[in-house]
Each structure stands twice: as C-alpha cells, then as structure tokens.
Amino acid sequence: MANALPPFLKAYHRTATFSEHSIPGGLRREHSTKPGVWGVIHVISGILLYTVTSQRHSWILNAGQMGLVEPEIEHHVTPLGAVSFYVEFWK
C-alpha cells in the first residue's frame, strides 16, 4: 500500500458513510478505480479489513486510520464487526 497520495492530486468525490450493514456489494467484491484515480478509505469507528488482491496482502484499518487505494489495483473491503467508514476519490 502506498504511504501517501501524490502531491498534485485533488479530491473530487466522497461516498456516503457506510456501516457493516450498508456497505455496497461492489466494495465487498474485487474492484478497482479508474486510471489516474486514487481512493482514500477513512475509518471513523470500528475495524475494516482492506485487501489488495494482486499483492495478496491485507491491512487492518482501525478507527482514525486511512487506507490508500492506488489506481487500477484490484481490492476489496471486509468489515470486522461494527464499522463506519467512507471513501474519498482523488485525481
């Protein structure tokens, strides 16, 4: 997972805040962002498992942590109990 967004990017969209009950199915399945689009997962409360399939690696994101989603990288999320989070998109 990248450590920081490239400095020239700007935020352009934010999802609704999701809970373990309202996460869209598309976020739970393998998906990717479009070319040049980064995602930033913001965990507000609880724990979210962020998995990057191509790297065969997962990160546990706790409340207050962020997960960076690089462009075109297959990934998915899994709630680990009660969770609240949203995703920002940057390009």
Domain that holds residue 53: 11-90
Is position 30 within any domain?
Answer: yes
Beta strands in the chain (DSSP E): 11-14, 18-19, 38-52, 57-62, 66-69, 75-90
Is position 83 within any domain?
Answer: yes
As a whole number, mean pLDDT of residues 32-38 equals: 97
Q: In angstroms, rounded to a whole number, what is the distance separating the alpha carbons of residues 91 and 6?
A: 9
> In a 10 Å sphere around its CB, with 0-12 CB exposed, 13-18 middle and 19+ buried, how is residue 31 labelled?
middle
Q: In angstroms, rounded to a whole number, what is the distance separating the alpha carbons of residues 59 and 77?
A: 10
Say if residue 5's pLDDT is above 90.
Answer: yes
Band the pLDDT of 3: cuts 50, 70, 90. confident
pLDDT tens digits, 41-90: 999 999 999 999 988 999 999 999 999 999 999 999 999 999 999 999 99
- The CATH number that applies at residue 86 is 2.60.120.10
7 contacts: CB under 8 Å, gap ≥ 6 = none
Is position 25 within any domain?
Answer: yes
Is position 40 within any domain?
Answer: yes
Is position 2 within any domain?
Answer: no
**What total of structural domains would you count in the chain?**
1
| Model pLDDT, residue 53 | 92
The whole-model pTM stands at 0.94
